[in-house]
Structure 1
Amino acid sequence: MTDHTRHVHPTPTDADAIPRVSGDQTLGLLRHGYGYLSGRMRELGADAFEGRMFGSRTVFMAGHDAARLFYDDDKLKRAGAVPSLIRLTLFGKRTVHALDDSEHQHRKAMFNRITAPARVAELADLTDRLWREAIADWTRRSQVRLFRESVRVLGTAVCRWAGIPTRDRELEPHLRDLAAMVDNFGAVGFGQLRGRLARRRANRWAANYIEAVRGELLRPGEKTALHVIAHHRDGDGHLLDTRTAAEELINVLRPTVAVSWFVCFAAHASHTHPQWRHRLASSDDDTVRAFVDEVRRFYPFAPLLAAKARRDFSWRGHEFPSGRWVILDLYGTDHDPDRWRDPDAFDPHRFLESPPDAYDFVPHGGGDSQTGHRCPGEDLTAVLLTRTVRRLAEIDYHVPTQDLGYSANRFPSRIRSGFVMTNVVKPRDALTPPETR
């Protein structure tokens, strides 16, 4: 099969018509997980189909053309589209994810300011220093659970960087809440309740800092996330209400903690593909970034995104009435055999050949991250993961017998054991801070 970057996107024909299927797809999605929707599409010989989800008529789609439609703001909107079990656990009620048009652009500009390249570099340097300190400590311990360590390192780094002055030990319960929000966004029953309670506690915690800044009891740096969000004004010139500002602050902290899921997947990839584990320590930045991007493509994390038809329109001869729910299968798009050579094989080389299209590679959504709905924190995720992969590649360690599996029907999936390492040894030269060498 040709490489995805050389694939010509054909003009749709009548053969691309969207089939309709009977029955609600919700149970199948929950039962079979990430590969369910793309599996149905393969059965139907299509990259989209219409069915039901949570009882509502829904168009499910995957692939380049579907992603391009999904990010066409003239046809689709985000307001009212995110299911409540995700909105109330992961994003919050009134945040940027549910906004459209000028209101979205104005709020998105706030996040673009927070994640400006210079600020991302500062967070990367801080995270790198904390990884060095953590790894030095690991050499004195009998075993290390990487997932837990990653939540602590990344969470501590982003809180300091964001302007939150809480002492590291006092941060621990708040970092657990940030991780619980991510860990339970797709859960039902007790897991969903656990995620929502974590979100409520985190909102109260963040709101205290917003109020302290506005009351001039706390003066973080002007470029910090805490300062920017606390002083952000909407298009009408009004400060965000305290709850919304708190939720947006959490939406800076939480995604950084969520990188911990990818850290464990990266460790899993280097363990199951040991030729990469030895190569990464001495590779150039492009090679490490290719490995990181393949981790984000290959492993399951965000399963899908939701939107609604803004108005009546037609696509491939299929009618989309106003309000019709539209689901983009992220995992299926990142594993689309029409765009990716051997999509179920882990192969970082594919990213060294040429950059992927913005609608083929969608682990954080598609399109333009600066102006569209693609996550503005994607570059931050990639930079932090690249730094972390380099640090892990520098150390020697043993991977004892454990459950290194991950579930296809758990949203989000993660390594069950948390990736336990023993006998951690770091070469003496790598232990020495670069400025003292």
Structure 2
Amino acid sequence: MSTLTKIPCEKTIDSSLYLLLEGYPFIQNRCRKYESDIFQTRLFGKKVVCFTGEEAAEIFYNDYLFKRKGAAPKRVQRTLLGQQGVQGLDGKMHQSRKKMFLSIMTPENLKTLIHYTRFQWEYNSIRWNNSNIILFDEAQILLCQVACKWAGVPLDHYEIEQRAFDLGKMIDGFGAVGPRYWEGCSARKRSEEWISNIIVQIRTGKIKPPKDSAAYIIAWHRNQNSKLLNPQVAAVELLNIVRPIVAIATYITFGALAMFKHPECRAKLQLRDPNYNEMFVQEVRRLYPFTPFVGALAKKDFLWEQYLFHKDTLVLLDIYGMNHDSRIWLHPYEFNPERFFDWEHSPYLFMPQGGGNELGHRCAGEMVTLEVMKASLDFIANHLSYKVPVQDLKYPLSRIPTLPKSRFIMSHVKRKVN
């Protein structure tokens, strides 16, 4: 019989304050401290096991050993995720809901999304002519327009900025305490009320979105009991289409930052090589912070690598740490798109938005993120001329989610005439 190995344990009563102070590198810092890929601590009064590495990721996405239901803290549900959405489901219910999302991500629908994204950059940039803009703010507004049009959600001109603001606050609030968190909660409530009303109007025939749109598919999706989703749950799932597209504004801002810091990369983007465009986008997703970690609950007692996991223990997988692990990436803190030239895709190594296979808990919108980023960063590199004035471009790792402090100011913005 094999001997159990004791999981290294934090000696503090609770490490929540350290998580708030350190942010993204919290797990990575302790793995280095204990010279271990696993450790145990307490966060917000709850026992937590944190781990990292390919083997950890593979076991973490084993649905026989881990479940998502009940894993997301209420504070994250009240801001970022909503309640009873696909991220917190398991088993057949999760499979059914995941298939619903995948049915939206058809090749034709993705082509339409790319078209809408390019059009919106062209259209919105008209009013930027020779002016100063804050890229992150403008990208949120633009992507809100793209997301709603693509999803079949009606959006009046007068409400664009408010809806974009609310979707952004939901994203910004999940890792915060105090005013940022409460703003995120309020934004979630307003957004769910807005979308719930749209779901009801679709079902009563007052709104008629295209049959291949997310709004139509989600409004008419039936659960395991052949019943339509509750309007509030349907609203959560439709926001799970719209909100993540707006969240891409963060990656677009970091992409512009990468072009500014590495002008040779912008020059390569201007050669219009689609392979390089994809490598650039993937490197932005790897290097710059987005998802800090993901969580699940142990379904039962089990043994892994001589470590004993107890049923219902909350386990966190370190996403940020794996994207900056020198055992996986050569010079992990350097920006180098070419590292993806011969990259062997693995669902358990490169996980900017979570891992696993497509039918499991891997983000269904990952392809959406890639395509929107490619179209957006191609537009910035090849169809805009601008200057980058002196500003504070630092992004604090203690802040989750983080962003350059200035949100990337661009001056003398003009569309290029090609």
TM over 0.5: yes
In the alignment, is the contact (CA less than 8 A) between 1:177 and 1:198 conserved in 2?
Answer: yes
Identity across matched positions, percent: 37
Alignment of 1:5-84 (within 5 A): 18-23=7-12, 24-84=14-74
In the alignment, is the contact (CA less than 8 A) between 1:14 and 1:316 conserved in 2?
Answer: no
Q: Distance in 1 between the 2:374 and 2:67 partners?
A: 33
Question: Could you give the per-residue CA deviations for residues 390-418 of structure 1, whole angstroms, max 9, x where no partner exists?
Answer: 00101221100111111111110011111
Please say if 1:246 is aligned against 2:235: yes
Among 353, 374, 398, the residue aligned to 2:362: 374
In the alignment, is the contact (CA less than 8 A) between 1:156 and 1:168 conserved in 2?
Answer: no
Q: Distance in 1 between the 2:132 and 2:393 partners?
A: 16
In the alignment, is the contact (CA less than 8 A) between 1:127 and 1:384 conserved in 2?
Answer: yes
| SS of 2:25 mapped into structure 1 | helix
| SS of 1:144 mapped into structure 2 | strand
| SS of 1:194 mapped into structure 2 | helix
Unmatched 5+ stretches in structure 2:
none
Q: Distance in 2 between the 1:51 and 1:378 partners?
A: 31
Partner amino acid for 1:400? P
* Correspondence for 1:176: 165
For these two proteins, the number of residue pairs brought into alignment is 415
* Correspondence for 1:97: 87
Q: Distance in 2 between the 1:333 and 1:194 partners?
A: 31
Q: Distance in 2 between the 1:150 and 1:143 partners?
A: 14
* Correspondence for 1:216: 205
Question: Could you give the per-residue CA deviations for residues 269-304 of structure 1, whole angstroms, max 9, x where no partner exists?
Answer: 110111111111114111111110000010011111
* Correspondence for 1:10: none
Q: Distance in 1 between the 2:237 and 2:288 partners?
A: 27
* Correspondence for 1:6: none
* Correspondence for 1:3: none
Q: Distance in 1 between the 2:52 and 2:16 partners?
A: 17
Question: Could you give the per-residue CA deviations for residues 124-176 of structure 1, whole angstroms, max 9, x where no partner exists?
Answer: 111101111222332x2421111111011111011011112222332221111
In the alignment, is the contact (CA less than 8 A) between 2:4 and 2:308 conserved in 1?
Answer: no
Question: Could you give the per-residue CA deviations for residues 53-97 of structure 1, whole angstroms, max 9, x where no partner exists?
Answer: 222221101121111111011100001101111111111111111
In the alignment, is the contact (CA less than 8 A) between 1:17 and 1:316 conserved in 2?
Answer: no
Q: Distance in 1 between the 2:60 and 2:123 partners?
A: 43
Check 1:128–1:17 CA distance in 2 against 1; reply closer, same or farther (3 A cut).
farther
Partner amino acid for 1:327? L
Alignment of 1:334-353 (within 5 A): 334-353=323-342
Runs of 4+ in 1 over 3 A off after TM superposition: 13-18
* Correspondence for 2:399: 410
Partner amino acid for 2:395? Y
Partner amino acid for 1:413? T
In the alignment, is the contact (CA less than 8 A) between 1:311 and 1:323 conserved in 2?
Answer: yes
Q: Distance in 1 between the 2:355 and 2:165 partners?
A: 29
Among 108, 112, 115, the residue aligned to 1:118: 108
Q: Distance in 2 between the 1:195 and 1:403 partners?
A: 25
Question: Could you give the per-residue CA deviations for residues 357-398 of structure 1, whole angstroms, max 9, x where no partner exists?
Answer: 2111011111112x1101000010011001111001012211
Q: Distance in 2 between the 1:26 and 1:306 partners?
A: 15
Please say if 1:229 is aligned against 2:218: yes
Check 1:252–1:285 CA distance in 2 against 1; reply closer, same or farther (3 A cut).
same
The alpha carbon displacement at 1:15 in A equals 12
Unmatched 5+ stretches in structure 1:
1-12, 430-437
Check 1:51–1:215 CA distance in 2 against 1; reply closer, same or farther (3 A cut).
same
TM-score, normalization by structure 2: 0.96
* Correspondence for 2:317: 328
The alpha carbon displacement at 1:251 in A equals 1.0
* Correspondence for 2:297: 308
> What root-mean-square deviation, in Å, do the aligned CA atoms of Structure 1 and Structure 2 show?
1.5
In the alignment, is the contact (CA less than 8 A) between 2:4 and 2:306 conserved in 1?
Answer: no
In the alignment, is the contact (CA less than 8 A) between 1:297 and 1:363 conserved in 2?
Answer: yes
TM-score, normalization by structure 1: 0.92
Please say if 1:201 is aligned against 2:190: yes
In the alignment, is the contact (CA less than 8 A) between 2:392 and 2:406 conserved in 1?
Answer: yes
The alpha carbon displacement at 1:16 in A equals 8.4
Q: Distance in 2 between the 1:421 and 1:408 partners?
A: 23
